[in-house]
Structure 1
């Protein structure tokens, strides 16, 4: 149930359904990938596939980007992914960056937390941005890739036929019904996934009884963007309230309903308005305000057991539902898309076996369980499911007023990158203990400022700028010279049409030749990676470390690539001398 009062400051363009060219009853074109759902996850996946030259069709039941209050916080990790998708500019221009937040118990502040942010970082820990903006900026980027991304609005899936080498979707549009065939189907169609239902799959986990009213209001204020949490506030005794400032003077307010409150009555404006006014009075916000949207939310901690079912794959809310506390919902979905895009692209282009897609399920189910674990802890603190949890929370909050040591128990942990430490793709380290620091296999590449020297010119950047749609071997050197066997490997993999590049990292400025040379001008990069000349980090297209060696040979790196891509039996391999 939702109440909409007026339009948001953003006005979405509406799109009409169109039948495919020369349509009769079946789309005459067979698509490499059909993505069901044109929200943030579906659009991110489409853009990711386009980066590898893989075409897709995006099927969206709505006629525009979304409206209403949904995802509002985008993490640094998601921003890194979005930059690789070519859509970062709008996010940074419009979004409100923030680095921390405050929690209050009754009238006293009990916590002031800061998310990791230092001089190595290129992007802020978090930006607040409404989902309609998120979708629009991704859509703008997708429209620039219209040669590879076909978006079909007002197109609803009515049936799915799956077979060993593809699937057929029956779809309905105002302009007529038809069927389309695809090699792969990816369900990005949300918590009420039609594809999940068609395959008879069910999410497993916990649904919580606690309910929150979500209210978006228009309010001009100079207050900085940060996460505000109020426990048992004077404005709403016995409840928990969350407040986030968004762009365009829109504020998102979530407050918990007390036990026994009627949900239908709770979203009626005459009951919501006094609570919001009381909250604003308590916060000292005296300016005029107006409601935009009211709806009801209930926390779920659910996931599918597997995200691959034959030729159908699942991502985002179609695969898992994560509580809003800790902003892991949309961010985990964008991470799903990033993980899946390169794997599905390599399989679609015949560069890897289908078994690579099983690793998508392995890694992202593991990530979902990690997110659900943290989300569950946050939910149990924000909305205690029993008297025992409520008693514990009250004790922690009461003690935190006078004892700072207790404040760490107030669970503010926000989303953070998941390390795939047990991924089947990781290269096992043959010398345990060889590295005392640096990101291990499965971890996300650590950020650091660098200078890139290319064709006699030097430009400033960051290490993550060098993560492109390819495998990258970061070779730490004394003078910027890449070992000859790695140069040969790069040429050989290019002949196999495998996206791969060796990049030299040096502690001093070196001239780039055929390769750009990366200069560690801050003097921090080598120590961050516990690297010495000869050290190599092999990084996946999604920025996760695949393997690392103190002194890597081309044969070791080639074997790591072979292990990941699982080429067909009999594929030729070349020895490197």
Structure 2
């Protein structure tokens, strides 16, 4: 494969020879979600132990599309710039029906944002960067590879965890246990928790192909999606460019596919040649899969918390899986830190379920709609899909009905319990803009922040960072106007005020911390 896999070192854990002190947080799974969770907690001063049964980054590119909001979260975690430098930046998507172009769309037509609409970057690079970042917190993050969790017991005020290592078994205790093991979560299975949702019977082939240049190359990288292309009759296809001259190709195969037969060079190479013609290529990785759009009924089970694919799964179309998981981390990290420090009641963790279950429901709805549009189940559905595509070539209204994977957007928390007021920006995630001292997202994430503009600075409020911008540029004025904005550590705007009256600000802050109903 193109990526040079190297094993992370295994160290015999202290618990093999003597009981360990209770850990504040145990994180099970060292994928992007678990690693990001540990870094987020470390930035809040919370210690964690990360337990993983493996000792290498993920095999194959897996998640590759990282959305603007996710990149802004990664910026706060300390890896955003590195991901941007390595990743392939894109914002234009192009749709085809057969050989005919239908239309193209621009996901970020305006300037004035630090990060682009999307980058493509293989999951193994993201995991590598996160491991190296986690190693910068040796006193706060204890990375334990080849430590397989085999069982756990929730004792009400802490969790006891059973672990297997190359040197034998041991136990440790943690105040909280975070399951970040992915869609096949052993924790979820041990607890006999079911996923509720829809299973799709269609099979899809993912292939990573190394080639110096795609025959579809444009001046800048784009997402190309075909409905019923000439090279893959009656099905759909997707092409993305990744770093290192790796191209992701997704091909719909149908519900009656034999996955073992399809995931072979004998089957795959002719399919790729039908797409790229005489262009030389090398297979780097391939997988055949089908998927569900489903989630847990509750993400919070006393001291056991589920994040990422352990809590919810979606189709890969729309880049909602990895991005949704990182937004879980962003939502949970500051809340768990506040509970552990005594700055918020334990009931604040219930809002993690409320808000992220809401977000995952939105992702599941969009992913299900996309998959149903891409894979019509009846002749009537196929007729509707094809007529929409025909109309969209010349009638813009029909383009809104096309769904090839509506791409990841942060969900709004407007009207949910931790937010105050009815201003349209309340509940939205922070909208970036340039300032005289850097980007807004660099200055207003990671802690409760009171943002103000113009002549009247924000007042000092206990536990809140005051951020006053004396000379807001046109982007800030256009996106925020005047007023005072209370921003949560995860970058969501939880209140907006016309004046700097602390009699309004303090109750909104208490509500955001779950200290009032």
Distance in 1 (CA, whole Å) between partners of 2:49 and 2:202 is 39
CA contact (8 A) 1:117 1:124 kept: no
CA contact (8 A) 2:510 2:516 kept: no
Distance in 2 (CA, whole Å) between partners of 1:384 and 1:124 is 33
The correspondence for 1:425, drawn from 418, 432, 456, is 418
1:566, CA displacement in angstroms? 4.2
Q: Does 1:526 align with 2:477?
A: yes
Report what 2:76 is aligned to. Answer: 84
The correspondence for 2:149, drawn from 147, 157, 182, is 157
Distance in 2 (CA, whole Å) between partners of 1:252 and 1:16 is 31
Alignment of 1:354-369 (within 5 A): 354-369=346-361
Figure out how many residues of one structure are paired with residues of the other and give that number. 512
Report what 1:447 is aligned to. Answer: 432
CA contact (8 A) 1:102 1:113 kept: yes
CA contact (8 A) 2:92 2:222 kept: yes
1:428, CA displacement in angstroms? 2.8
TM-score normalised to structure 1 length: 0.86
Report what 1:130 is aligned to. Answer: 122
Q: Does 1:148 align with 2:140?
A: yes
Where in structure 1 do 4 or more consecutive aligned residues deviate above 6 Å? none
1:464, CA displacement in angstroms? 1.4
Report what 2:509 is aligned to. Answer: 561
Distance in 2 (CA, whole Å) between partners of 1:305 and 1:559 is 31
CA contact (8 A) 1:71 1:131 kept: yes
Aligned CA RMSD, in angstroms, stands at: 1.8
1:264, CA displacement in angstroms? 2.6
| 1:41-69 alpha-carbon deviations (Å, 9 max, x no partner) | 11111111011110100111111111113
Greater mean alpha carbon deviation, residues 402-411 or residues 553-562: 402-411
Gaps of 5+ in 1: 1-6, 430-434, 453-460, 507-518, 570-577
Distance in 1 (CA, whole Å) between partners of 2:197 and 2:65 is 24
Distance in 1 (CA, whole Å) between partners of 2:442 and 2:257 is 51
| 1:345-375 alpha-carbon deviations (Å, 9 max, x no partner) | 1111111110111101000000000111111
Gaps of 5+ in 2: none
Report what 1:472 is aligned to. Answer: 449
CA contact (8 A) 2:446 2:491 kept: no
Alignment of 1:85-104 (within 5 A): 85-104=77-96
1:16, CA displacement in angstroms? 4.0
Secondary structure of 2:177's partner? Answer: strand
Q: Does 1:234 align with 2:234?
A: no
Report what 1:538 is aligned to. Answer: 486
Report what 2:468 is aligned to. Answer: 504
The correspondence for 2:457, drawn from 466, 482, 491, is 482
When Rg is computed on C-alpha atoms for both structures, the one with the higher figure is 1
The correspondence for 2:11, drawn from 13, 18, 21, is 18
Distance in 2 (CA, whole Å) between partners of 1:134 and 1:393 is 36
Greater mean alpha carbon deviation, residues 260-269 or residues 536-545: 260-269
Distance in 2 (CA, whole Å) between partners of 1:246 and 1:47 is 26
1:555, CA displacement in angstroms? 2.4
Distance 1:238 1:20, change over 3 A: same
| 1:204-263 alpha-carbon deviations (Å, 9 max, x no partner) | 100101110111111111624211111111111011111111100111111011353333
Alignment of 1:166-185 (within 5 A): 166-185=158-177
Secondary structure of 1:248's partner? Answer: coil
Report what 2:384 is aligned to. Answer: 392
TM-score normalised to structure 2 length: 0.95
CA contact (8 A) 1:225 1:246 kept: no
CA contact (8 A) 1:473 1:502 kept: yes
Secondary structure of 2:105's partner? Answer: strand
| 1:123-150 alpha-carbon deviations (Å, 9 max, x no partner) | 1000000100111111111111122111
Secondary structure of 1:440's partner? Answer: coil
Report what 1:346 is aligned to. Answer: 338
Report what 1:415 is aligned to. Answer: 408
Greater mean alpha carbon deviation, residues 410-419 or residues 254-263: 254-263
Distance in 1 (CA, whole Å) between partners of 2:378 and 2:52 is 40
Distance in 2 (CA, whole Å) between partners of 1:405 and 1:440 is 27
Secondary structure of 2:275's partner? Answer: helix
Secondary structure of 1:388's partner? Answer: helix
Report what 1:266 is aligned to. Answer: 262
1:406, CA displacement in angstroms? 2.2
Distance in 2 (CA, whole Å) between partners of 1:231 and 1:201 is 37
CA contact (8 A) 1:111 1:410 kept: no
